[in-house]
Each structure stands twice: as C-alpha cells, then as structure tokens.
Structure 1
Amino acid sequence: MEVQNAREKKDSVVEPMVHLIVFKLGIEEFGIRIEQVKEVTITPEITRMPKTPSFIKGVANIRGDILAIMDLEERFQVERSASVDRHTYTLVIEAKDYTLGFIVKEVPQSLTLPVSSIDKAPSFIQDININENFIEGIGKIDNRLIIVLDIFKILTSDEIMELRG
C-alpha cells in the first residue's frame, strides 16, 4: 500500500512552469517572464531626445509616467520584419532603478512552458556576449524556438546611468 502511495505521489508531482510574454523581433520569437512585465500598451506618441543611443527612440507618456522607449530590434541588431503595422506595442518593464518601455511590432502573446523545455543558451553564444548575458535560455514548444530574455540584463550599468541622468 505504501509503495503504491509513494508511486502515486511521484506521478502527481507537478512540473514547475514558466509564464512568458512572447513577441517577435524580426522573424524570431522572444519571451520575457511575465513577472518582469508591468503592462502592455499600444505605443503612444514618442518624443525624440537628444544625445541618447540610437536604440532609444525617445520618451513617451504612459499613464502619466514619462518613460524612455527602447527599440529592441535595433538594440539587438535584428533584421527588421517586413510587416508594417500601423500600431506597435510597448512592454513596460519596471526594474529596481528604472522603468522603461520596449517596442514590439505585434501583439505580445501569453505562453506557459514547463521549465524543463527551456535549455541554457549554447555556451559559445554566452562567451561571445560576455557583457550581454541577457539570454536566459531557449524555450522549445512544438516546432518553435523562443529566445527567453532576462529583460533586466539588457542594459549595461553605464546605459542605465545615462538614461537616469
């Protein structure tokens, strides 16, 4: 009886899941853990700011807060997708030291994956991007590969200081 109960408990172990917000940059799919995203909104009008990196498109008023808006395709040097939508969407990220918006071209989707379906990025990619270890892993679901980002590591400390100043 105890052996059977132990087996039932083992079979009923729930695999940990990761809830992602998934979006496309160019033709590739990327994901961010949902707890790193404060909100998703249609991108408001952006005001260009002088002396900012080219991947910072400017600032925008989102619910009364003035946020820097970053173009992730430009930041990652991803070839832009051919689709030209009238609207873009902004993922609002609230880190400890800053709040920032990231532009994405399509409506982000919610996706839940088992933790076991996310592999570490190949070590040679991490070695190449020593200062850019923002790739948490590669999620696999069906025939899709989703690059999972740690959004809080996308900016260097120098860039954070530049944006705050």
Structure 2
Amino acid sequence: MSMEIKVIVFRLDSEEYGVEVNQVKSIERVQNVTKIPQSANFVKGIINLRGNVTPIIDLRTRLGMEYLEATDSSRVIIVGVEGMQIGLIVDSANDVIDIPGNLIEAPPKVVGNVDAAYLRGVAKLDDRLLILLNLDKVLDTVEIKKLEEIGKSI
C-alpha cells in the first residue's frame, strides 16, 4: 500500500482503532436504543437517526471484549457498508488522521482478543499502534442483515 488513507481513530479499552473516513457518515452521542428480541448479544437494537432506522452494534462485544455501559465519552460511529447504515458503539472517538500506506502492515493472527479476520492491518505511527478494522468483515453477518429487514418493516 502506498497511498495515504484518512481514518477516524477511536478507542476500545486501551487500544486505538481506525476506520476509513469514507465509510463514516457521522459520529453521534449514544442515545436510547430500541432492543430487538432474539438478536445476537452484540446487537444493541435500533435507533431512529434523522428518519433512518439504524441498527446499533456494541463493537466491544462484537470483537469479543468485555461489555461496558456507555459513558459520557462513548460515541456511536455511523458507518455505511454495502448500502446499509449501521451504528458502532465505541468507548470514545477522538481523532482524524492521515496514514501513509507504507506504515500499514498486514495484521497479526490475533490482536488482543480480536480475530485477524476483522482487521485490515496495523499502522505503526511514531509511539502508537493503530488497529485498522475491516468493516466489511466485522459487519458481514446474517444477524445484521436480519436487523436491516426488521428496520425496513417498521
């Protein structure tokens, strides 16, 4: 990779993660979520965001981390993947940075608890490591597609 990519940086636990800006529609405060019965444990439910029914995913739970209640610094990153709009609850969203492509390495097999299938790569930036998520894999589940159908029927 040689081109620069622009990413939104957010935190889960003590780790910094990034998603490409072109996949992010907005960053919102956590709001009331309508629960959906019999959905996966990482699915918090749906919200009405400016007239769009948007599924909300707890990214910590999705990536196998311990569940934590939302705090004042928690945010919902609204992303667009395969024509769907989905909200990801993160501990905080704090930065937008440009990463030169030559600083991005292939992901190791596992980073913390996170399976490499969910990772696009790891960027080594001066004194920090930034884990880049592959949203297509993180969000590629039957469960999320089912939520989208529920949202359309509401």
TM over 0.5: yes
d(CA) in 1 for partners of 2:77 and 2:4?
22
Residue 107 in structure 1 maps to residue 93 in structure 2 = yes
Which has more radius of gyration?
1
Moved more, 67-76 or 92-101: 92-101
Partner letter of residue 110 of structure 1? V
Partner letter of residue 91 of structure 1? I
d(CA) in 1 for partners of 2:32 and 2:81?
23
Matched residues, number: 146
TM-score (norm 1): 0.78
Q: What is the identity percentage for the equivalent residue pairs of Structure 1 and Structure 2? A: 28
Q: Secondary structure at the match of 2:117?
A: coil
Paired residue for 2:56? 69
Paired residue for 2:152? none
Q: Secondary structure at the match of 1:107?
A: strand
Residue 159 (structure 1) shift? 2.6
Paired residue for 1:26? 13
Residue 48 (structure 1) shift? 1.2
1:45-67 CA-to-partner distances (Å, cap 9, x unmatched) read: 11111111111111111112111
Give RMSD over aligned pairs.
2.4
Asked if structure 2 preserves the Cα contact closer than 8 Å seen for 1:23 and 1:104, the reply is yes
The structure carrying a bigger strand percent of its residues is: 2
1:50 to 37, 40, 59: 37
Asked if structure 2 preserves the Cα contact closer than 8 Å seen for 1:44 and 1:62, the reply is no
Task: Provide closer, same or farther for how the CA distance between residues 48 and 80 of structure 1 changes in structure 2, counting only shifts above 3 A.
Answer: closer
Structure 1 outlier segments of 4+, above 4 Å: none
d(CA) in 2 for partners of 1:98 and 1:141?
31
Unaligned runs of 5+ in 1: 1-14
Residue 115 (structure 1) shift? 0.6
Paired residue for 1:158? 142
Asked if structure 2 preserves the Cα contact closer than 8 Å seen for 1:44 and 1:61, the reply is no
Paired residue for 1:136? 120
Residue 80 (structure 1) shift? 5.5
Partner letter of residue 149 of structure 1? L
TM-score (norm 2): 0.83
